[in-house]
Chains A and B, each alone.
Chain A
Amino acid sequence: MTDTQPIRVRVCFAKGGDLRFTGHLDLQRLFERALRRSGLPLRYSQGFNPKVRLNLASALPLGFSSEAELLDFWLDAPLDHAVIEQRFSAALPADIHIRQVKFVPNDLPSLQASLQSSRYRVTFQPPLDTNELAEKLTALLAQETIPFSRRAKTADLKQLLLSARWQETVDSADLLLEMKSTPEANGRPDELLSLLGLAPGTYQVCRTGMTFNSTEGENNG
């Protein structure tokens, strides 16, 4: 069974609702179990305690929602996209929604290894004044460096932030951010917002997309 080439399946999914409070490791286990429930012919890891082989692109911070998470898993036998999507969807909680299923070559590097940056949309609820916030942000970004502390170390947020712009909405404005997402440098919107004096829970963050290495970005698959 395992001497055949596995089929690498890439799933793009949205995550929201109460599942925002399920962290990365727990989400991995949730996917393992959902895949086991789905009845798909899964490829397992070798060894004493075989596990469902799967791979998530990037840990989404607790409390964030996302429109564009990516997951790779492997099948032992080929199946139609629609069948995979239907069976996997049926086994998933309602707070995860599959947006796309496709096959990618086995020799692509792992999602984590090729991830470059993430895009986020931050939304605010009235009565928070986004004009005032925008002024604060402009002032902050005008600084030469933006030092902040993470786990007792100091880093420069300016090195992690690729872009920041505002998008008007009906009664407020959303902040659109792009931040680095590599193992060496990973920017977090909540760290930026806390420098602006905002506590977690007073705004919502949604990851809207990820950018991968140009050499084998997901579109080259």
Chain B
Amino acid sequence: MAAPQKSTIDSRLESILFRVEKPGRYVGGEHNQVRKSWHSIETHVALVFPDIYDIGQPNLGLAILYDVLNQQPDVLAERAYAPWVDMETQLRESGLPLFSLESKTPLNKFDILGFTLPYEQIYTNVLNILDLSGLPLLSSERGAEDPLVIAGGQACYNPEPMAEFIDAFAIGEGEALILDITRAYQEWKRWHGPREELLKALARIPGVYVPGFYEVTYLDDGSIAHVSPRMQGAALPVQKRIVAKLPPATTRFLVPNVETVHDRISVEIMRGCTRGCRFCHAGMVNRPVRERAPDEILQAMQAGLSATGCEQIGLLSLSSSDHTRILEIIRGVYEKFKDQRVQVNLPSLRIASFSVDLMDELKNLRPGGGFTLAPEAATERMRAIINKPLDEEVILETARTIFAHGWLSLKLYFMIGLPQETMEDVQAILDLARKIKGIGKSLKGNRVRIHLGIATFIPKPHTPFQWYSIEDAQSLQAKIDLLKDGTRKSDIKMTYNPPDSTLLESWLSRGDRRLGAVILQAWKNGAKLDAWTERFNLSAWLSAFETCGLDPDFYTKRQRSLDEILPWDHISTGVSKRFLLTDLRLSQAGKTREDCRNNCFNCGILDTFGSLKPSEEEVYWGCP
């Protein structure tokens, strides 16, 4: 590997930094940053979050991989983020490549570039970063001297839209895969084989998807005819990898020197969710539920706080109140941290699993701030359709308890555009919000604030709703208008997504491999930083679809047939298509399924991963 041109970059970087906004984004140097000597380390990995530092730095997934890789004596991991527009201009004008924060090494000098793809709106940034690093965008055009480009993260359960650009996808949990991939790379590199051999070795690792080894053919109607492996040993389907027990939590967090969007550290208390909400991608793809024990959580919190000096810590999970020992955790947290001037955030509390005990304990934990509840739908009919069953009385009672405990500000999250939703269901959102406001007022008077957060339903792959079309923009707009009008009259604050703003996510989340050409063309048309609402360039995308001869509505406004081969069918999350289909039918019949920790519905997780399940004493799995 050639020596990085550190000194040159540093001196040229110097003058650039005076010309950009918030230059601290580009220099690293955070407390707990790991610096290793480039030349004495065999393998160099750049972990890339394809949005700006402010968004990417707090990402827990990347922090975990940074920690895991840097614990290996023969591996060095550094970080890179997308530059903001002003920095990109400066880099291009001065002919500087994008570089890592730690050693300011150009990304094309690394052995492996690992992108995290938590959501779809950052795909063009990946192309932009490859381009700024002087690398060919297409996997097929990269040679033996170029870094291996891999990607992982929640969006990769449908890797197809990015298949042309990424050499290999890590499907599933990064902790389970990253070292296998790194070791395979090292073996190949020592042996000096052709790049094809590296890709073959990777394709043989369970959980690694090398799209170049799979051929996709299409029917005349545009749906998929076949997905077939072109290489012996390439798995079909590619089964996601998981860790049977969550490894010790990362505690040596980097402490940013400039402000980021979530300036706190996090401890994951539980992974997965057993509730089975039918719209929820995270709830389906992250099974099974695995908990961390209270002792381990408290120790990790203390270690994280001591290592960083942070004053805020978040306890993360998809549904915190579903942790079997949540009361013990909250009591423990209060006892341990009450004198340490630490603010503890416990998001994702589920209404039905609330108890007055829990509220009493929470009150100790965070006396200020607001409270958030997510009923998602406001009629019992609708809640049965999405499988989030709740009696309205329970919701109202929960709100009453929240106000009675002294909270004055309550955020309510709902979705619109759900399957079979009518105007009455949307009106019911308003009615429910007003009732809750009334309860608040009767207990606490005019100081009570209600904030309505309205999200647009987007059907996601690997969920029971994956076959549905999205609602058309006009009818969504009518629903938004109804809510806007009603909330204004009732002095309720409301936030929502304009219908156009969710199109990109809708196209890409259920896209096929042909969308690669659209992403490339959209990027050429100037699309980048698409997740920034004010920068999203709809016409760049529409024109890209046109150039590529593809119809955007094919991906969103089409009810998929139940026997259609879906672009992500060859990627397995462990939850079977048969289960999703049954669940869809139950939804259409207005029937719910209870929390599956009480009653296994045979989703497929135990068939796939049951042999990994540790004893109950060792770790709590949600599967009975």
Instruction: Give me the interface of A with B, judged by CB distance under 8 Å.
Output: 17-19, 21-23, 25-26, 29-30, 32-37, 44, 48-51, 62-63, 91, 93, 95, 199-202
Chain A residues with CB under 8 A of B525: none
Question: Is B201's CB within 8 Å of the partner chain A?
Answer: no
Q: Which of A17, A25, A29, A202 interacts with B15 by CB under 8 Å? A: A202
**Is B368 in contact with A48, judged by CB distance below 8 angstroms?**
yes
Chain B residues with CB under 8 A of A19: 29, 257
Q: Which of A34, A62, A95 interacts with B309 by CB under 8 Å? A: A34
Q: Which of A22, A32, A95 interacts with B311 by CB under 8 Å? A: A32
**Is A23 in contact with B311, judged by CB distance below 8 angstroms?**
no
**Is A91 in contact with B258, judged by CB distance below 8 angstroms?**
no
CA of A95 to CA of B368, assembled, Å: 36
**Is B27 in contact with A18, judged by CB distance below 8 angstroms?**
yes
Q: A33-B255, A34-B31 are in contact. Are A201 and B14 (CB under 8 A)?
A: yes
Nearest chain A CB to B433 CB, angstrom units: 28
Which 8 residue pairs across A and B have the least CB separation, nearest first? Answer: A201-B18, A33-B309, A36-B309, A201-B15, A37-B309, A18-B27, A200-B18, A21-B23
21 A/B residue pairs, CB under 8 Å, sorted by A: A17-B29, A21-B24, A22-B24, A22-B257, A26-B258, A29-B263, A30-B257, A33-B255, A33-B309, A33-B310, A34-B309, A35-B309, A36-B309, A36-B311, A37-B31, A37-B306, A48-B368, A63-B23, A93-B31, A200-B19, A201-B18
Question: Is B343's CB within 8 Å of the partner chain A?
Answer: yes
Q: A21-B17, A201-B15, A201-B19 are in contact. Are A26 and B257 (CB under 8 A)?
A: yes
**Is A23 in contact with B15, judged by CB distance below 8 angstroms?**
no
Select the residue from A50, A91, A201 with max chain B CB neighbours within 10 A. A201
**Is B309 in contact with A91, judged by CB distance below 8 angstroms?**
yes
Chain A residues with CB under 8 A of B574: none
The A-contacting residues of B in range 285-324, CB under 8 angstroms, are 306-311
Question: Is B16's CB within 8 Å of the partner chain A?
Answer: yes
CA of A200 to CA of B259, assembled, Å: 23
Question: Is B341's CB within 8 Å of the partner chain A?
Answer: yes
Question: Is B136's CB within 8 Å of the partner chain A?
Answer: no
Nearest chain B CB to A160 CB, angstrom units: 21
CA of A120 to CA of B310, assembled, Å: 33
**Is A199 in contact with B28, judged by CB distance below 8 angstroms?**
no
Chain A residues with CB under 8 A of B309: 32-37, 91
**Is A50 in contact with B341, judged by CB distance below 8 angstroms?**
yes
CA of A201 to CA of B306, assembled, Å: 37
Question: Is B406's CB within 8 Å of the partner chain A?
Answer: no
**Is A63 in contact with B258, judged by CB distance below 8 angstroms?**
no
Question: Is B367's CB within 8 Å of the partner chain A?
Answer: yes
Chain B residues with CB under 8 A of A26: 24, 257-259
Nearest CB in chain A to that of B340: its residue: A36
Q: Which of A33, A48, A49, A95 interacts with B308 by CB under 8 Å? A: A33
Select the residue from B19, B26, B311 with max chain A CB neighbours within 10 A. B311
Nearest CB in chain B to that of A34: its residue: B309
Select the residue from B18, B26, B259 with max chain A CB neighbours within 10 A. B18
CA of A50 to CA of B341, assembled, Å: 7
Chain A residues with CB under 8 A of B308: 33, 37
Nearest chain A CB to B28 CB, angstrom units: 7
Chain A residues with CB under 8 A of B30: 93
Nearest chain A CB to B99 CB, angstrom units: 13
**Is A95 in contact with B18, judged by CB distance below 8 angstroms?**
no
Chain A residues with CB under 8 A of B258: 21-23, 26
CA of A32 to CA of B263, assembled, Å: 13
Chain A residues with CB under 8 A of B24: 18, 21-23, 26
Q: Which of A35, A49, A63, A95 interacts with B343 by CB under 8 Å? A: A49
Chain A residues with CB under 8 A of B263: 29
**Is A63 in contact with B18, judged by CB distance below 8 angstroms?**
yes
**Is A63 in contact with B17, judged by CB distance below 8 angstroms?**
yes
**Is B27 in contact with A21, judged by CB distance below 8 angstroms?**
yes
CA of A48 to CA of B343, assembled, Å: 11
**Is A93 in contact with B29, judged by CB distance below 8 angstroms?**
yes
Chain B residues with CB under 8 A of A37: 31, 306-309
